[in-house]
Copies of this chain bind each other. A is one copy, B any other.
Amino acid sequence: MLALICIFPLFGQAQTITSPDKNLSMHFELKENGVPSYELTYKGKAVIKPSSLGLEIKDAASFVNGFSIQKTEESTVDTNWDPVLGEQKTIRNNYNELLVTLVQTKLNNRYLRIRFRLFNDGLGFRYEFPKQKDLNYFIIKEENTQFNLSGDHKIFWIPGDYDTNEYAYTTSKISEIPSLMKNATININAQQPIKNVAIQTPSMMKSADGLYINIHEAALVNYPAMSLNVNAAEFKLSSHLTPDAVGNKGYMQSDTQSPWRTIVLSDKATDILASKLILNLNEPTKYKDVSWIRPMKYIGVWWEYFVAGKSTWAYGTENNVKLDQDFSKLTPNGKHGATNERVKAYIDFAAKNGFDGVLVEGWNIGWEDWIGNWKEEVFDFVTPYPDFNVKMLHDYAASKGVKIIMHHETSGAATNYERRLDRAFQFMNDNGYDAVKTGYVGQIIPRGEHHDGQWMVNHYIHVAERAADYKIMVNSHEAVRPTGLNRTYPNWIAQESARGTEFEAMGGLAHEHTTILPFTRLMGGPMDFTPGIFQTDLSYYKTGGNQRVNTTLAKQLAYYVTMYSPLQMAADIPDNYNRFPDAFQFIKDVAVDWDNTWILEAEPGDYITIARKAKGKDEWFVGGITDENTRTANVPFDYLSKGKKYTATIYSDAKDASWKVNPQHYEIRKVIVDSKSNVKQFVAPGGGFAISIKEATDTETKEIKKL
């Protein structure tokens, strides 16, 4: 690490820094009345026009104006670090930093710092509130960070909402957002749309002249999540924090800081996906032992709840139950999913096909009336239904080398979960579970709090930290959108926090959805997208209606590469994998943790092609997807070791396939490739392809056609 620190004297009221590659330039200055302002240019073009910075404080003077610059400090960092799990083994952290100390001389010299870090791939900055005589405790009324854009960019957005991230994306001009907001605000369980026109981050934009801009935040800790107010006429975005039950936005104690506000940008879309800026702005983990944190591929008693209709989370027919009653006396509905027999069958399938885990939802009492009642004591997290034998199933799974994955649905009652957390985790330790899927479906309790408010932000982290004390990995659903905290809490292995595969059974996902998610939701961290649906036409099930998963089968394979996560589910029902064993082979083979990643092609809303090298292995996997349009993907292989021959197994859409017609028509072919090879790969409408690459055996070299 190289760190040059230069402290500049007081008289400078403006300061400019550039990125290490000089493409980016960030200018800070105080405007009239001592209002802090920054602007950002890329290759000489304005990205963020002069935009003010500051925070309103409750019952005290605000941090918005009256500032003078006390000092500025510059430094440079260029270092490498290795994530516990990740898209690449080693990540470079290279930036030029400007730390500005601002003082409000008329407020008894109260001071505030703003720290800017300018990387080659973008800007991060945050507010810092040092411990000082007149600043101990304060409450944030609102943060006033502006992002004044240089034009009416194309934008991929979902409505601002304090409680859910599960909206479908709308693509429009910034100026069109207000008129489209009403239709974009579709019904979602327990939603709380922001009253003014606002959108969520990560917010992905593209300028008319081809600049890709992504605004999000990093290291969201002890602070509410930020949405963006939209001034559609002037293309100005500004911070909008999630309030608490009494309307306050943040309870602060100095020495402290805001999360980082991040602007990732490039004139190449692939650079956005390759950016590690958000991870770099998060703190290294404090865990001393991370040996127990491992990537996982899993199956689960799950998809059948959505499509087959033959099974349910609930055991009884009752619609009014209490935790202290005897659930064995309920009237069985005859469709309970998490039965001993079914779970054993899933365990058998997992063991046979090399999966690490079996998620079992609906194992514990309380599902009869779990949703929609703002009920606190819905689940106790330790009592199984009468037809789920914890010890027997643990022993059975252990005998087959498989882990059962715990499920803790909270129904949004975070208080109930916290008060039972130690017992729940102890129960997991006692019964051989080392990973948990958490869920937050419903209105939050403490009542009046929101999924994305400061209290819940702290709750999710608390759960991750307590889980680490028990060596448990966490995959949270319906939690606040991620901000790179998987670096700091690497056992918080994945999140949902977006519209995932479950919606394919509830109205469907747009064809372009998964070409947008990596540019938006996944900028913050891994997603448990739960791909792998082979039976895409749900009318196949008597109870599935005419719903269909809007992809080809091959596109579902591609997701294992295009949707990064160290935790990947094969979400379909085992029977369906048994019907397509040759395609299923890719899911069995694909890695979930990586030495390196190459973003080969990408355009948000249109297509993505990614290649990755499996961690610690000479194996590569490629995935490519398109939206509703057919295309020809261009797949180079220059990331392969030079001079060696490899066997590439290509799983692709058949020529007559599309998401609508023949979605299960796929082709599997093997070719010999080397680092100089190039494949032009047909992709069907709503389709995709996947490639697995291993060093070729002598026999393969002889027998398989060289590309």
Residues of A within 8 A of B (CB): 131, 136-137, 139, 244-246, 248, 251, 253-254, 319-320, 322, 369, 373-376, 415, 418-419, 421-423, 446-449, 455, 458, 462
Contact = CB atoms under 8 A, between A and B. Distances in A.
Contact of A246 (B251, B253, B373, B448): B448
Nearest to A322: B253
Contact of A251 (B248, B376, B421, B462): B376
B253 A447 contact: no
Contacts of A415: 415, 418, 446, 455
Contacts of A320: 131, 136-137, 253-254
Nearest to A373: B137
A256 to B, nearest CB: 9
Contact of A319 (B136, B246, B319, B422): B136
Given A253-B373, A369-B136, A375-B251, A246 B422 contact: no
25 contacts: A131-B320, A136-B373, A137-B320, A139-B374, A244-B447, A244-B448, A245-B447, A246-B448, A251-B374, A251-B375, A251-B376, A253-B320, A253-B322, A253-B375, A254-B320, A376-B458, A415-B415, A415-B446, A415-B455, A418-B418, A419-B421, A419-B462, A446-B449, A446-B455, A447-B455
Contacts of A374: 137, 139, 251
A322 B256 CA distance: 11
Determine the main DSSP class of A at the interface with B.
loop
Given A254-B320, A320-B253, A137 B447 contact: no
Contacts of A423: 422
A446 B375 contact: no
A423 to B, nearest CB: 7
Nearest to A320: B136
A694 to B, nearest CB: 48
A261 B419 CA distance: 30
Contact of A245 (B137, B245, B375, B458): B245
A458 B416 CA distance: 11
A248 B418 contact: no
Given A136-B319, A415-B415, A419-B462, A447 B373 contact: no
A219 to B, nearest CB: 17
Contacts of A251: 374-376
A691 B236 CA distance: 81
A604 to B, nearest CB: 39
A578 B423 CA distance: 47
A245 to B, nearest CB: 4
**Ranked 5 nearest A-B pairs via Cβ:** A446-B446, A245-B448, A245-B245, A418-B419, A422-B422
Contacts of A447: 244-246, 248, 446, 448, 455
Nearest to A132: B320
A455 B446 CA distance: 9
A140 to B, nearest CB: 13
Contacts of A418: 415, 418-419
A168 B224 CA distance: 40
A419 B448 CA distance: 19
Contacts of A246: 245, 447-448
Contacts of A462: 419
- Chain B CB within 10 A, most for which of A319, A447, A455: A447
Contacts of A253: 320, 322, 373, 375
Contacts of A137: 320, 369, 373-375
Given A245-B245, A376-B458, 7 more contacts: A137-B374, A137-B375, A244-B448, A246-B447, A248-B447, A251-B375, A415-B415
A154 to B, nearest CB: 39
A644 to B, nearest CB: 51
A81 to B, nearest CB: 23
Nearest to A466: B419
A458 B447 CA distance: 14
A446 B245 CA distance: 8
Contact of A448 (B139, B322, B375, B448): B448
- Chain B CB within 10 A, most for which of A136, A319, A419, A422: A419
A376 B461 CA distance: 15
A246 B241 CA distance: 19
A419 B138 CA distance: 24
Nearest to A244: B447
A624 to B, nearest CB: 45
A419 B248 CA distance: 23
Nearest to A248: B447
A633 B320 CA distance: 59
Nearest to A374: B251
Contacts of A419: 418-419, 421, 462
A458 B375 CA distance: 13
Contacts of A375: 137, 251, 253
